[in-house]
């Protein structure tokens, strides 16, 4: 592969990454041909799982080589901990959390402190979340088990009374949770071989996406498909081809254009000699392509999930099958985002869903949404690596979200009418589009400014780059937050003065 790497001008680790993702397509197609239909055998589920284990191990070995041992150790220790502490699941989840995060950080520390490298730590960071999530689900299953016992006891007591009453069908509203994290609790610990299949699943072990073990279990026994696999909805081939084409397009643009706008250039004296307008434009383009490569690889990776069938996500309101169950990015929503909330909802979606379920919601006992948000972002910063740039980036994003909320409060009296009026004139339409364009520009600018330390990693280099931009992003958001606080203090005084008049 080294000669191909030189010919394409792509680093060997990057080429192996892309090669592993592309190889998942024929693996997924073969799985579809062999297993994505009912099999008249009591071992059908085990056969599907074994295929996934063997192919996943093969792809992992291709990418990581001997370093595959790290993932095997992690899986074994996590499963063993849950097995030993089956009756003390609170202890199990704490130990699994500390072990997986600690092992990952040890890998980061031993590999590199100066630059980001594509090594075994890439799939390890995916596995870290997967194992922590499984441990939490195992813990949650304890409560489900208790509820089942209570339900059976109460049912036996009231059986005579219920038989005398007319039957009533109790229905629940559909779950708002994404298909990747629906009904996640594990009453019993899965077998070690099943956990291996879940961990090494060929379409998600390398760069994600995250999903629960319960989805994997439904996948290998065909429960996630209509009529338990007797019917495969149309559209999966189209989705897979679309992911392949769009992902390749984004990566090609990255290679042809993005490679000419490295963030590191913003730390040079030559960059500082440019006019501020040219520096700003460079920052904007450079920031765009920092994130562009993630859009490309996630979209490319999504195709194998659609091809093998795990991405089936029920139907739209019009009856069209959806194959976006494991989509990690909503490209249209991301590219047209007019708020950071839109960015969060459309970028690295399954990791964000994972963080919401296993970190944010677990912090409810704090009783403060800002603390929960900060804790979630702090965890994500640690999860990304030991570089200080990650912490600076996520801290900046936290402040940016506060500033966005402040800006919304300030502008509400001036813009709300555009979206509440019944008037359908061209003037209202133009005002609305102008406002959306303005907020899109502010959102992307804030995002690309914050992403600089994420890419440079080192604090000194990040401060040099920000200094050459006059710290405009930092000053603007802090100024907006302070202005909103002062305005909030003065507004009640104005109202009291008006009432006295």
State both tokens at 456. Answer: 């440079």
Cα dihedral value 374, 380, 384, 390, nearest 10: -20
Closest CA to 267 of 41, 417, 463: 463
Give the rounded percent of residues in the chain with a pLDDT score beyond 90.
78
Residue 259, Cβ density class (10 Å: 0-12 exposed, 13-18 middle, ≥19 buried):
exposed
pLDDT bucket at 498, cuts 50 / 70 / 90: low
Boundary-marking domain end, from 224, 256, 281: 224
Both 61 and 206 in one domain: the answer is yes
What is the tally of structural domains in the chain?
2
Read off the pLDDT of residues 267-309 as tens digits, 9 standing for 90 and up: 999 999 999 999 999 999 999 999 999 999 999 999 999 999 9
> What are the residues facing 347 on neighbouring strands?
329
Q: Is 288 part of a structural domain of the chain?
A: no
Going by C-beta distance under 8 Å and a sequence separation of 6 or more, which residues neighbour residue 386?
A: 105, 108, 109, 113
pLDDT at 446 over 50: yes
Q: Alpha-carbon distance 125 to 172, whole Å?
A: 36
Going by C-beta distance under 8 Å and a sequence separation of 6 or more, which residues neighbour residue 73?
A: 103
Closest CA to 251 of 291, 223, 215, 212: 291
Q: Where does 36-120 have alpha helices with state H?
A: 44-64, 68-84, 89-111
How much is the average pLDDT of 216-222?
A: 96
pLDDT bucket at 493, cuts 50 / 70 / 90: low
| Whole-number CA gyration radius for the chain | 25
pLDDT bucket at 441, cuts 50 / 70 / 90: very high
Residue 146, pLDDT score: 60
Residue 166, pLDDT score: 38
pLDDT bucket at 424, cuts 50 / 70 / 90: confident
Q: Alpha-carbon distance 14 to 251, whole Å?
A: 11
Q: Alpha-carbon distance 122 to 289, whole Å?
A: 20
Residue 115, pLDDT score: 67
Q: Alpha-carbon distance 69 to 448, whole Å?
A: 37
Q: Where does 202-274 have alpha helices with state H?
A: 213-220, 236-256, 269-272
Q: Is 378 part of a structural domain of the chain?
A: yes
Kind and range of the H or E run holding 393 = helix 388-420
Q: Is 2 part of a structural domain of the chain?
A: no
Q: Is 16 part of a structural domain of the chain?
A: no
Question: 333: cis peptide before it, omega within 30°?
Answer: no
Q: Is 295 part of a structural domain of the chain?
A: no
Closest CA to 103 of 70, 134, 136: 70
Task: Please tell me the least confidently modeled range out of 108-112, 326-330, 473-477.
Answer: 108-112
Residue with tokens 């009291």: 496
Residue 164, pLDDT score: 43
Residue 364, pLDDT score: 86
| Dihedral sign of CA atoms 483, 467, 444, 369 in order | negative
Q: How many CB atoms sit inside 10 A of residue 19's CB?
A: 15
pLDDT bucket at 229, cuts 50 / 70 / 90: confident
Q: pTM for this one?
A: 0.90
Both 205 and 350 in one domain: the answer is no
pLDDT at 168 over 60: no
Residue 299, pLDDT score: 98
Residue 131, CA distances (Å) to 87, 177, 434 in order: 19, 20, 46
Residue 194, CA distances (Å) to 50, 115, 183, 189, 215 in order: 8, 36, 18, 10, 12
pLDDT at 76 over 80: yes
pLDDT at 349 over 70: yes
pLDDT at 231 over 60: yes
Asked whether 314 and 175 are in contact (CB, 8 A), the reply is no
Asked whether 303 and 21 are in contact (CB, 8 A), the reply is no
End-to-end CA, the chain? 81
pLDDT at 163 over 90: no
Q: Is 408 part of a structural domain of the chain?
A: yes
Q: How many CB atoms sit inside 10 A of residue 211's CB?
A: 28
Residue 117, pLDDT score: 80
| Dihedral sign of CA atoms 8, 13, 18, 19 in order | positive
Residue with tokens 């690596």: 385
How much is the average pLDDT of 348-375?
A: 92
Both 60 and 201 in one domain: the answer is yes
Q: Is 245 part of a structural domain of the chain?
A: no
Q: Which long-range contacts (CB under 8 A, 24 or more apart) does 324-328 make?
A: 324/239, 325/178, 325/179, 325/180, 325/215, 326/180, 326/203, 326/204, 326/209, 326/211, 326/302, 326/350, 327/209, 327/302, 328/208, 328/209, 328/298, 328/301, 328/302
pLDDT bucket at 136, cuts 50 / 70 / 90: very high
Residue 454, CA distances (Å) to 59, 116, 170, 476, 490 in order: 29, 10, 50, 20, 38
Average pLDDT, the chain: 90
Boundary-marking domain end, from 224, 258, 286: 224
Boundary-marking domain end, from 197, 224, 251: 224
State both tokens at 383. Answer: 């999860």
Active site residues: 348, 384
Closest CA to 341 of 412, 413, 404, 383: 404
Would you list the DSSP string of 428-481? HHHHHHHHHHHHHHHHHHHHHHHHHHHHH-SHHHHHHHHHTTTTHHHHHHHHHH
pLDDT at 223 over 90: yes
Task: Please tell me the least confidently modeled range out of 45-49, 52-56, 112-116, 332-336.
Answer: 112-116
Q: Alpha-carbon distance 85 to 91, whole Å?
A: 7
- What's the domain range around 424? 340-498
Read off the pLDDT of residues 233-254 as tens digits, 9 standing for 90 and up: 999 999 999 999 999 999 999 9
Q: Is 401 part of a structural domain of the chain?
A: yes
- Give 312 or 11, the one with higher predicted confidence: 312
How much is the average pLDDT of 76-97?
A: 97
pLDDT at 148 over 60: no
pLDDT bucket at 1, cuts 50 / 70 / 90: confident
């Amino acid at each position: 592969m080294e000669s191909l790497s030189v010919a394409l001008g792509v680093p060997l680790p990057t080429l192996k990454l892309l090669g592993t993702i592309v190889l998942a397509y024929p693996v997924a197609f073969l799985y579809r041909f062999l297993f994505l239909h009912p099999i008249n055998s009591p071992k059908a589920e085990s056969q599907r799982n074994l295929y996934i284990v063997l192919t996943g191990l093969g792809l992992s070995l291709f990418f990581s080589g001997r370093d595959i041992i790290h993932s095997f150790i992690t899986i074994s220790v996590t499963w063993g901990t849950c097995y030993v502490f089956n009756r003390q699941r609170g202890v199990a989840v704490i130990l699994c959390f500390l072990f997986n995060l600690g092992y990952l950080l040890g890998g980061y520390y031993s590999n590199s402190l100066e630059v980001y490298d594509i090594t075994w730590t890439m799939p390890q960071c995916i596995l870290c979340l997967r194992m922590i999530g499984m441990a939490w689900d195992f813990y949650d299953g304890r409560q489900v088990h208790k509820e089942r016992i209570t339900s059976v006891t109460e049912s036996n007591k009231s059986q005579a009374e219920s038989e005398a009453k007319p039957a009533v069908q109790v229905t629940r509203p559909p779950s708002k949770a994404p298909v990747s994290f629906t009904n996640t609790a594990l009453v019993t610990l899965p077998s070690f071989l099943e956990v291996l299949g879940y961990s090494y699943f060929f379409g998600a072990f390398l760069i994600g996406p995250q999903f629960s073990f319960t989805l994997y279990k439904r996948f290998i026994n065909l429960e996630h498909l209509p009529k338990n696999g007797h019917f495969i909805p149309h559209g999966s081939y189209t989705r897979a081809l679309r992911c392949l084409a769009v992902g390749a397009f984004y990566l090609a643009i990255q290679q042809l254009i993005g490679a000419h706008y490295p963030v590191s250039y913003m730390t040079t004296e030559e960059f500082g000699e440019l006019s501020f307008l040219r520096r700003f434009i460079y920052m904007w383009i450079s920031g765009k392509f920092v994130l562009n490569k993630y859009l490309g690889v996630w979209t490319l990776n999504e195709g194998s999930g659609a091809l093998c069938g795990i991405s089936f996500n029920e139907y739209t309101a019009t009856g069209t099958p959806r194959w976006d169950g494991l989509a990690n990015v909503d490209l249209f929503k991301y590219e047209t985002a007019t708020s950071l909330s839109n960015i969060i909802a459309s970028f690295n979606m399954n990791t964000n869903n994972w963080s919401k379920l296993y970190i944010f919601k677990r912090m409810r006992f704090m009783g403060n949404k800002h603390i929960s948000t900060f804790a979630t972002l702090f965890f994500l910063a640690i999860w990304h690596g030991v570089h200080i740039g990650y912490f600076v980036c996520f801290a900046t994003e936290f402040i940016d979200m506060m500033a966005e909320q402040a800006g919304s409060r300030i502008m509400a009296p001036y813009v709300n009418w555009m979206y509440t009026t019944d008037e359908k004139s061209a003037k209202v339409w133009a005002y609305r589009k102008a406002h959306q364009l303005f907020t899109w520009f502010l959102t992307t600018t804030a995002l690309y400014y914050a992403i600089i330390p994420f890419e440079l990693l080192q604090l000194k280099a990040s401060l040099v780059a920000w200094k050459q931009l006059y710290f405009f992003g930092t000053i603007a958001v802090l100024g907006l937050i302070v202005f909103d606080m002062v305005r909030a203090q003065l507004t009640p005084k104005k109202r009291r003065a008006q009432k006295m008049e």
